[in-house]
Structure 1
Amino acid sequence: MSFEFINQNLVFPQKKFADQHEALTFLADQLTDNHYAKSTFKAAVLKRETIFPTGLPTGAINVAIPHADWQNVAHSGIAMTTLTNPIEFSNMADPDDKLQISMIFMLAIDEPHGEVKLLKELMEIVQNQKHLEQLLSYKTVNDLYVDLKDTFSGLTV
């Protein structure tokens, strides 16, 4: 089995979730079902989100970057979804500030310090509102996958 960092089976355009818990559960289950994450991953992501929220105020389109510690990961990768209706996440800088999130990048990184490097790269991507608008506009898995694959092509974690 090939474990690409951006895997077409982990890209979900135009999804609708009732709330943050449902979205996080769905993405964590996808990472586990595709053997990127260990069975402990979902609980670790959900717990971490309550302690260290991952909502990021990036402009008109806000994103969330949930993740769990590397011990819960088998292979590095990202599960990503765009949302038809924004859902509420707490701001990572101010947990009392609630943000409407339109895009979620769930990170699964299998080495202790890999998150730092990836988060730095991801910050550059999510600061670009035009690119976020483009990602949000894709209706098919393939279109979203091709863009993400190209965007992350130079990344080594």
Structure 2
Amino acid sequence: MPRSLLTRSLISGTVSGILTSAALLGLARMRGIPVWRSLNCTAHWLDGPKTAENEALELRQTGVGFGTNHAACIFWAGFVEAALGGGRVSWARAAATAATVTVIAVPADYIATPKRFTPGWELVFRVRDIAIVYAAMAIGLTLGARLTHRDA
């Protein structure tokens, strides 16, 4: 049975959100940064930039940060899934579409979006680390698209 655009977006976005969060946590650990800061920083839209300094696992900041990132991945997955349509999709087409959407997401997130609503990763990480996180997002969107289109 064909899946709706919304269902496909939720699935692809969830895969991407999990990989993006894993990348954030892994990078924080590798860089010697308290790991929860990597998720807390995305909640800066709620409590301001000081949120990125919070090292604790807390529902208000860690939960909101994770949820915000997850919702953003679902949002971007909607564009990937709309572009791919409902039929079968090759790995190459899924990867190219996910990469294209991710390349669009970077300036949308960091140039077109008001500072208060950016991902907030710049409060914790360097530019190269942020690039790794976006690569994880693209990989997640690709894997999610392949998952949603394998039975099409």
TM-score for the superposition, normalised by structure 2 = 0.28
More helix by share: 2
When Rg is computed on C-alpha atoms for both structures, the one with the higher figure is: 2
TM-score for the superposition, normalised by structure 1 = 0.28
The structure showing larger relative contact order (alpha-carbon pairs under 8 Å, at least 6 residues apart) is: 2
More strand by share: 1
